[in-house]
Structures are given as structure tokens and as C-alpha cells.
Structure 1
Amino acid sequence: MRSLFRLKTIVAAEDQPEHHRLARTLSWPHLVAMGVGAIVGTGILTLIGVGADRAGPAVLLSFAVAGAICACAALCYAEMATMIPASGSAYTYSYAALGEIIACVVGWSLILEYSLVVSTVAVGWSGYAVGFLKGLGVFLPDALTHGPSLEGSWANHDLHLANLGVNVPAMLIIAVVAGMLMLGTRESARVNTALVVLKIATLSLFVAVALPHFDAANLHPFAPNGFGSVADDHGVKYGVMGAAAIIFFAFYGFDAISTAAEEAKNPERDLAIGIVGSMLACTLIYVIVAAAAVGAVHYTVFSKSAEPLALILRSLGSARVATVVAAAAAIALPTVLLAFLYGQSRIFLVMARDGFLPPALAKVSARGTPARITAVTAVFVAILAGLLPLDVIASLANAGTLCAFVAVAACVLVLRRRSPEAKRPFRTPVAWVVAPAAILGCVYLFISLQVVTQVSFLIWNGVGLLVYFLYARARAVEGRTAP
């Protein structure tokens, strides 16, 4: 039993073997850009429609709830990232503070989160790219623009396959971004920064066109599905909290910054600036864009669209601007792919170093990038993106993220008690309020997810525990080096 809760000894990045060592090439502007690039993406460009479908105009409250919970989690991440400046994010913090078995669950949940986030964003990008191509008169075969879809009721156990298809554009964009990451971190960061500027300019253009059309009548009824979380016959949960459980996807991304700890030039300063700075900037952006969207047209107009912002603009008679927004989204959304595929490859890298995955995957290329694990990850997520629908992927991704956020908040509390004098370059303000708020908020959002998501998450982690006991436990580096 003691081995299940053994703690990881953190090895400084400079003390890693040369073939495992990452190059320090990122400064705080790169990290802020990575955070904004990761956070501002599918959540506001695509999932605002899904959220409005579930909450109506009260999706504004859904954004507020999800943003508040993520703000608490971000403050906890900032403390842990600067206290333990090592790659691996919540997995590494859990291994150092909570024990090996918990780190296994968190790591397995992070695999779920990052894999499905990349897949979700790729599917969202596909929707905008296909819409943009249609605006240019280029029409792709319908079966090549979406994954298989299901019909029927989950509750009545009569779900069946309705439409076959493979989302080819989603698979192709993952391949392009993976190739970019394998070329080098600094080069990827420069491209990411340029695309983030384009993305912010695009959202500013949308607000400039939509906000003058704001009509308070479009906010009625404000909360047609109530303020709680109510499931329909398909197991999908509606209401403000039901939407918040999905909208939550729109806010996270700052956790990808914590995976860059070993590549930050000054991690003790840069990580906190990157995490907190990107969260503040993105919260402001989201509030303005969401208000402009639900005020410009009635939510029923865009709630079912794969490209809601572009559809809103077309509804307002701004077809040319809609084409520009669709084009810019198609160009800029890959910043989210880049940030999360980057983060996932670093988490996989650390798990491979620790013996939880085959050690050969931890080898770093001559450019200082984990090319092997990036390629393996890209193949895996491309298959998911090609075959799964958007709302199913996003909902399941949220479950993995909620688990990681709870773990990081718990790490803050445990280390505040166990090591009160430890060096903390960034301290979470009012930690004994903020961290419990993050934990309780994440647990409530998990309860608000649809049942199929909760069951799938438990099954996924059950498989992860089997992998741990049958493979990883005996190969864990901490176990081999323990006295």
C-alpha cells in the first residue's frame, strides 16, 4: 500500500539526461500568447452555439459560472507551476504531493483531456473551413466533412448509427500542426503568436459588426431551460449549469502553459504571468463576444450551427464579413491545436520518463522536441477527430479536465499544510477559500455533465488503473530508485 502513495522526487530540467532534456526557448510573451491561443478558440467560435442551445440567452451566466471556477483553478495552477517548474502539469504536481496512484488517475485523465480537446478543436476548425470553402464555391462531399452520427435515445437504450462519414479536414489539420511542432518549439511559438493576433482581430471585427444590432428582445426568454441542470430523453443536460458544463471547455487552456515549465527561460516568473495573464485577457474577450452574439440575433438562429459567429453575421446581412470571419477562424483555430498538442506531448514525455509509458517515447530529437511522442499522439487524436461528433468529444474532454483541476487545487492545500515554508514564487491569494471553491465548482460541473460522459470517464479511468497495475507500477522509476 505504501508504494501506491509514494511521492515523486522532482529532477531539475538541467539535470535530466541529455536525450530527455528540452530546450529553454520560451519567454512570458510566448506563454501568454500560448494561453490566449489555447483558450480563445472552439469554445467561443463554435461551442457558443451548443451553449445557447442548452441555456438560451442565459448562456451569458454559463460563461460567468465556468469562468469563475476556471479563475480559481488558474490561481492554483500558477502556484503549483512556479513551485514545481517541471513539465507534466497536474500529473507531476499530483505525483509530488498526493502519491503515485492518484498521479496515475490524473495522468490518465489528462490523456483524455488533451486528446479530446485537440479532436474537438479539429472538428470545430473543419466546420469553419468547410463553410469558408462553400463561400468560395468549393463543395466537399458531405460524407468527408463529418464523423458518424447517432440517433435515438440513450435513456431508452435505442441509440443507432444514422449517418456514416469521416471528417477528413479535421484529420488533415492535426497532421499539419503536428509537423510544425516537430520542427521546433521556438518556430511554433512564433507562428502561434502571429495567429493569436489574427484571432483577436477577427473577434474584434465580429463585435464591431454585431454589437450595434444588439436588441434586448433577443434576450427573451432569458433562461428557457431553467438555471439548474435538467436531462432530456437523450441524457443531454440543459439549463444554465448544464450549459456551463460544456462552456467550461471554452475557458481552459491555461493548463497547457504549465506543461512548458522546462522550456521557459525564467519559469518562476514567466509561468505565473502566462497563466494568470491569459485567463484575465480571455475572460474579458468572452464576455464581450458572447453579449454581442446573443444580443444581435435570437439564440435559436445560431444554436445548431457549426459556425455560429459566421451565421450571425450572415443573418445581419454582412455576408462578406462572415466570409472573412470564417476564413480567419480557419486560419487561426490551429493555435488551439498547437497549444494542446504541445501540452499533451509534454505530459506523455514525462509519463514515459517515469516509466508509466514505454521509455523509448521519451527520446528528444536533435531539435530539442519530443518528435516520437508528438507523432504517436497526432495519429491517435486524428482518428478521434475523424470519427466522433463535436458535442460528445467536448463533453468527455471536460470530465478529464475537471479531474485535473480538482487534483491541482488539492495539491495546493496539501503542500500548504505539509510544506508551509517551501518557496512559492507565486502564492494563491486566500488559498483556503480559492482552492476549495475550485474543487467544489469542478465537482458540481462534473455532476452537471450528461450521464454517458460520466460513465465513459469512469470506464476510461478503470482502464487506466488496469494499465497501472499490470504494466506501470512495476516499471515506475520512483519504485526502482526507492531505497
Structure 2
Amino acid sequence: MTTYRVLNEPLAFRMSQSDSTDDDRDLVRAGYRPLFRRGLGGFAAFAAGFSYLSILTGIVQNFHLGYREAGPAFFWTWPVVFAGQLCVALCFAELARRYPYCGGVYAWAGRVGAPSLGWLVGWIYLASLVVTLAAVALAWQVMLPALWPGFQVLDTPARNAALLGVVLIALSTFLNVRGTRLLARVMAAGVVVELIAAVALIALLCGHAVRGPGVVLEARASAPGGGLGPFLAAAVMAAYVMYGFDTAGSLAEETVDPRRRAPRAILQALLAAAALGALLLIGALTSAPDLTDPLLSDGAGGLPYLIKGVLGDALGTVFVAAAALAVFVCTLAVHALAARTLFAMARDGATPFAGRLSRVHPEHRTPHTAAAAVGVLGCALLAFNSGYEQLMTALVCVSIVWTNLAYLLTTGALLVERLRSGPTPDSFLGRCGTPVNALAVVWGAALVVNIGWPREQLYGPEWYQRYGAALYTGALLIAGAVVYRTVRRSA
């Protein structure tokens, strides 16, 4: 295995074993000074991952995408995507136990592969997180005006979405700067509310069922492309939801006993989201008054429209409000992961302005400068969305490609290490490690190709829109090469 080296040596330090706690000894051995306050328990770590996955955010926001492509049978893309992502999550659980460091996939890839690979993964993942932060913040436009018309402050939906998103990111920045304990309490409370709301919503929708669960076998006959094409396109909806489960691993330096709790939290978050999401989809499809209603396939309708149609305006509004709260908590989780990824890279001297971005607030013990920088970048993207909504929509799709590309590079490096070094005695996966890891790599490659496929309905009609995944990714890698050379020269 390639030994990971800290790029910014002045930031590293040596510390005797007696001066550190058991949880901090891994940091000391890696040359890092423990700066964060450990206070996150098992549920808080789970809440961080589940908040990111947030079915009441992802499914509510993107239900119409899957339904538009394949009709009710798009449900089957959910268990398929879950099975593939579970292989990835199992690999990440192993890495989280081996390397309990801040930064998640950035830290893991740099240690199972090479520091340069870690930098590339961190660069790609950080870009995807900033775009995801803006995309999640835009979801308030789907929900808040439905709760109260007064939230439609501006006449243009795109500009109003940007305004609401800026307010949301500003709140998220405040909480991410204020302290991890406060952030964890808010996320934990939000997750409890989301879990209760999700279970209640599933029960109510199933209680209003007008058809049996066999509806999930009904494919849309008029779906363009025929055959497998519509289902591959519909799988994008599930892929939009089932990622970010690695968040618990990125909070390892703030978690008590991270070698035990972070792997569990990664898997628990994905399993809980997958189970509740599947039940929610079944409840929605069995209770929909009219499966041919065009609003089910429209972003202006979708699942919020279905919920209100089934449960009535009053009760439906309660669940739309719960979804709005889930968006808020999801924003906190995405922001926290992005800030810690940026901080971890800066701590290694792997970013411009590393000295400032690697600072931790002496009182709140948070990466406050990195959190503020992420907030500014997210708001800048929201401003971009207000004038170039179609381009932003394409960029959001591409960001999912970037996330899974970062996952693929990490699991790929882990597989190469396995094949070179053989099975590890204390491996989290034991003898199943190599086949599970190989499946994760194959799945990751297939997912990247599928999401990045030049589909007009996702990216737009023009050639430069349809091939946005390749063009945006190329631009990101070119920009990354320039930044990397600059950072290496100044190191």
C-alpha cells in the first residue's frame, strides 16, 4: 500500500501516546493534531448519513423523473440501485474502520491508493458536493410556496428558488459554523421528525390504496426508447437519492469510537433510507387516484401533488411541511460533508489558501472558514441558476456523475490494493471482500455511464447540453490539473 504523506508538513505534528485519547491515536500516528471535539454518538452519526440520503427530500423532489420515464414499473429501479450502492457502502464501511479521519472518500482514496489519487477524488467530490448543496436548497421552491403563497416572493420561479435557497444556505452556514454539537442536535431532531413523518405517510397512503401492489409491474407503454431504455433513464431518480451515506465517515474525528460507530452508521443510513423509500413508492403508486394524470410526470406536480390529492389539502400540507424540514436537515448534512472535505484537503496543503481553510474555530471547534467558503460557493451557484436554469439543471445531473465517479475511484483503488496484497486478516468484509469490492467497481462504472448518458430529457435538446456530462467533467478535470500544479508548486 502506498504510504499517505501530509502535503503541508508544518501543519503536521508529533504527539506522545499518553497525550492523546484512544480515539485520537490514529490521528497522532498520521501526523494530525486533534482539533475537533468528540461528542457524536451512534445515533448522531446515523443521523448525519440519513439526513443526506433524506427520502423526503430526494423522492419528493424527483419522483416525477422516474415516473415520467417508465411509469409505475420504475419502482424496480429502486432495489436495483440499492443493491449496487450497498456494495459500495460495504467497501466504505471497511475504509471507515481502517481510516477514521475527516474527509471521507478523499482521505480513504489517498491511503489505499496514492496521495495524487486522493487529491483527484477530493477535487471531484468537493465539486459534486457544492453543486448538490445548491440543488438541495432549490428544493424549497417545490415545497414552501405549496405551504403558503407568501413564500413566492418573486414572480419568476427560478429567481424565487434562488432567493429561498440563499436563505437556506445562510442558515446552514450559521449552524455549521456554530458548533458540531448544535448541528448534530438539529440533524438528530430533524431525522426523528422525518422518520415519524415517513412512517405515518406510508401508512396513510397505503390506507388510501385504490389498487394492489401489482401496480409496480405496469410499465408505461408509450415510454420512448422501448425495452430497457426507459428503466435505465428512470434509475436516475434512485441514484439521485441513494448517495451521501459516507457522511458518517467524514465526521469520524468528531465521533466517539469512530472505528465501530462510523461503519455501522454508513450501513444503517443506507438500509433505513432504502427500506422506507421502497415503502413510500409503493404507497404512492397504490394510492394515486389517476395513474394517467400528466402532473405525476411533471416537476410542478409529482409526489407533493399526489400526496395532497390523496390526503387532502390540510393533511397533505402537514407532510409537505415535513418534507420542507427534511430539505433543511439534508442541506445541513451536505454542507457539513462539503466543509469537512474542503478542510481535510486544506489541512494536507492540497488547496489554495490552505492556511485559512484549515483553521478550526478555537471555541466552537468547527472548520468555520471552510464552512463559510462552501456556503459562498453554494450561493454563487444559486445566483447562476436564476439566469441559466437549464444549464444548472444539467449541472445537477452531472454532479451525480461526479459523486459516483469519486466513489468508483475509491472502490477501484481498494480493489487494486486487495489484489496486490491479498486478504487482510481483520477485514470488515472477510472473505467476501474481493467479490463485493469487484461488484462495487463494476456497479460504479455502470452507474457513471448510465447517469452521464446523453439523454435529451435530462440534459436538454442541444448537443452541448446532451453531452454535458462529458463536457462538464472534462472542464472540471482541466481546472483540477491547473489547481493541482499550482498547489504542488507552492507546497
Q: Normalised by the shorter chain, which TM-score bucket?
A: 0.7 to 0.9
Distance in structure 2 (CA, Å) of the matches to 1:16 and 1:72: 28
- Structure 2 residue 163 is the aligned partner of structure 1 residue 146: no
Q: What are the within-5 Å matches in structure 2 for residues 156-235 of structure 1? A: 167-211=162-206, 212-216=208-212, 221-224=218-221, 225=223, 226-229=226-229
Worse-superposed segment, 348-357 or 291-300: 291-300
**CA shift at 1:214, angstroms?**
4.1
Which of 38, 43, 47 matches 2:62? 47
| Aligned residue number for residue 269 of structure 2 | 278
Query: Is the contact made by 1:128 and 1:306 (CA closer than 8 Å) also made in structure 2?
Result: no
Residues 173-182 or 213-222, more deviating: 213-222
Q: CA deviation at 1:72?
A: 0.7
**Equivalent in 143, 147, 162 of residue 128 of structure 1:** 143
The separation in 1 between residues aligned to 2:32 and 2:383, in whole angstroms, is 37
Give, as a single letter, the amino acid of the residue that structure 1 aligns with 2:433: A
1:401 pairs, out of 392, 403, 408, with 403
Instruction: Work out the CA distance in 1 between the residues paired with 2:28 and 2:142.
Output: 43
How far apart are the structure 2 equivalents of 1:96 and 1:17? 14
Q: In the TM superposition, what whole-angstrom CA distance separates every residue of 1:349-388 from its partner, at most 9, and x where no partner exists?
A: 1111112212221010011101011001001012213433
Q: 1:382 maps to what in 2?
A: 379
One-letter amino acid of the counterpart of residue 198, structure 2? L
- Secondary structure of the 1:142 match is coil
Query: Contact 2:107–2:118 at 8 Å: present in 1 too?
Result: yes
Q: Does residue 241 in structure 1 map to residue 255 in structure 2?
A: no
Q: What's 1:459 paired with? A: 475
Structure 1 residues 385 and 69, CA gap change in structure 2 (3 angstroms): farther
State which of 263, 283, 287 in structure 2 corresponds to 1:296: 287
Amino acid of the residue matched to residue 452 of structure 1?
G
Alpha-carbon shift at residue 33 of structure 1 (Å): 1.3
Look up the SS of the partner of 1:369 in the other structure: coil
Counterpart position of 1:468: 484
Matching residue within 82, 95, 100 for 2:110: 95
Kindly state the Cα deviation for residue 166 of structure 1 after the two structures are TM-superposed. 6.0
**2-structure distance, mates of 1:342, 1:370:** 9
How far off its partner does 1:421 sit?
A: 7.0
Contact 1:218 1:296 in 2 (8 A): no
What letter matches 1:381 in structure 2? Answer: G
Equivalent residue, structure 2, for 1:354: 348
Match of 2:367 among 361, 364, 370: 370
CA contact (8 A) 1:128 1:330 kept: yes
Distance 2:215 2:182 in 1: 44
- Structure with more contact order per residue of length (Cα contacts < 8 Å, sep ≥ 6): 1
Partner of 1:266: 257
Give yes or no for contact 2:74–2:216 (8 Å, CA) kept in 1.
no
Residues of 2 paired with 1:74 and 1:280: CA distance?
10
Q: Report if the CA contact (8 A) 1:246-1:395 is conserved.
A: no
**Counterpart AA for 1:55:** A
- CA deviation after TM superposition for structure 1 residue 263, in Å: 1.1
Inter-CA distance 467–138: structure 2 relative to 1 (3 Å threshold): closer
Give me the whole-angstrom Cα distance separating, in 1, the residues matched to 2:422 and 2:170: 45
Change (3 A) 1:77 1:454: same
Deviation, 1:248, is: 0.6
For 2:33 and 2:113, locate their aligned partners in 1 and report how far apart those are by CA, in whole Å. Answer: 28
Aligned partner (choices 105, 124, 131) of residue 116 of structure 1 = 131
Report what 1:233 is aligned to. none
- The answer (yes or no) to whether the contact 2:121–2:410 under 8 Å persists in 1 is no
Distance 1:16 1:184, change over 3 A: farther
Q: Please, what is the CA RMSD of the aligned residues?
A: 2.5
1:66 and 2:81 matched: yes
Question: Shift in Å at residue 16 of structure 1?
Answer: 7.9
CA distance in 1, matches of 2:393, 2:218: 24
**Unmatched 5+ residue regions in structure 2?**
7-11, 13-25, 455-466
Which position in structure 2 is the counterpart of 1:156? Answer: none
Q: Which amino acid aligns with 1:415?
A: E
Equivalent-residue separation in structure 2 for 1:407 and 1:77 (angstroms): 12
How has the CA–CA distance of structure 1 residues 417 and 442 changed in structure 2, closer, same or farther, with 3 Å as cutoff? closer
C-alpha deviation, 1:178, in angstroms: 1.1
Q: Do the aligned partners of 1:272 and 1:426 also contact (CA within 8 Å) in 2? A: no
Higher helix share: 2
TM-score under structure 1 length normalisation:
0.85
TM-score, normalised with respect to structure 2: 0.83
Does the CA-based 8 Å contact 1:44-1:286 persist in structure 2? Answer: yes
The answer (yes or no) to whether the contact 2:67–2:297 under 8 Å persists in 1 is yes
- Structure 2 contact 73–215 (Cα < 8 Å) conserved: no
2:436 pairs, out of 429, 434, 438, with: 434
2:99 alignment partner AA: I
1:333 to 316, 327, 330: 327
Change in CA separation of 1:419 and 1:125 when aligned onto 2, cut-off 3 Å: farther
Shift of residue 343 of structure 1? 0.7
Find the aligned partners of 1:441 and 1:16 in 2 and give their Cα distance.
Answer: 32
Task: Report the CA distance shift for 1:24/1:14 in structure 2 as closer, same or farther (over 3 A).
Answer: farther
TM superposition outliers: structure 1 runs of 4+ over 6 Å: 15-20
Question: Aligned pair count?
Answer: 442
Contact 1:117/1:340 (<8 A) preserved: yes
The residue number in structure 1 matching 2:309 is 315
Deviations 1:112-142 (A, max 9, x none): 22112211111112321121122xx664223
Contact 2:76/2:216 (<8 A) preserved = no
Question: Which residue in 2 is equivalent to 1:162?
Answer: none
Secondary structure of residue in 1 paired with 2:139:
helix
- 8 Å CA contact 1:74–1:276 kept in 2: the answer is yes
By how many angstroms is 1:418 displaced?
A: 4.4
User: C-alpha deviations, 1:422-478, integer Å up to 9, x for none?
Assistant: 574633661222112111112112222233123212221221122112x122345xx
Q: Note the C-alpha offset of 1:408.
A: 2.4
Alpha-carbon distance change, 20 to 474 in structure 1, aligned in 2, over 3 angstroms? farther
2: distance between equivalents of 1:457 and 1:473?
22
Q: Distance in 1 between matches of 2:100 and 2:422?
A: 18
